[in-house]
Amino acid sequence: MGSAAKPATPALIDALADESGMVRFYAGLALGEIGAAAVPDLVVALKDKKSNVRANAALAVGSIGPTVAEVQAFNYEEPADNDSTTFSALPTAQIASIQALILRALEQPITLRLDGQSDAGIVINAGGIIVIIDATIDAGATTNATVNNPDATEDSQLKGLAGGT
């Protein structure tokens, strides 16, 4: 199918909320087949108020990109430390080279650094999602993806999925 089917993306996004599980399933498969061209619309669907739409959008995003040897899903809590310079590695130790990464900050913002980055990093706002597909993040398992919670009072929670080799 490929990117030539991009005009069908809005209808397929709507189909992610269909009452029929089969319709939702095949809509997700079709969006995955469209590939990277569908990612902007899928990112919007990841914020939908309906949990089944978010779940099906996440599955579709997960089917886009490289074939990976290892996939790790995680729930992670970064303690409040009131220190913007201390970063902790995400729990993706079995993945030496990350090729796909989906992260969602829950109630608190979090700062993300990638590939051994040492500057300010990327701030993911509370409720925000970052999606990286078909990348090479290979600084090593302990510095591929690190996070910081500069908040002095509340822990930050992340949900994520990483894939790679």
Strand segments (E) across the chain: 70-78, 88-89, 98-105, 110-114, 122-124, 129-137, 145-148, 156-164
pLDDT confidence of residue 65: 63
Yes or no: is domain 70-164 CATH 2.60.120.10?
Answer: yes
Report pLDDT digits (tens) over 26-76. 887 788 788 877 877 777 787 777 777 777 777 777 777 666 778 787 888
How far apart CA 1 and CA 55 sit, in angstroms, is: 22
Question: Directed axis angle between helix 51-62 and helix 21-34, to 10°?
Answer: 40
Q: What are phi and psi of 164, to 5 degrees?
A: 175, -155
CATH assignment, 2-62: 1.25.10.10
Tell me how far apart the alpha carbons of residues 149 and 132 are, in angstroms, rounded to a whole number. 21
Does the structure show a pLDDT above 70 at 1? no
Query: What is the predicted pLDDT for the residue at 120?
Result: 82
* Tens digit of each residue's pLDDT (9 = 90 or more) over 81-116: 777 777 888 878 778 888 888 888 888 888 899 988
* The pLDDT of residue 11: 92
For the chain, the straight-line distance linking the first and the last C-alpha, in angstroms and rounded, comes to 27
Ranges of each domain in the chain: 2-62, 70-164
**136-158 pLDDT, tens per residue?**
888 887 788 888 887 768 888 88
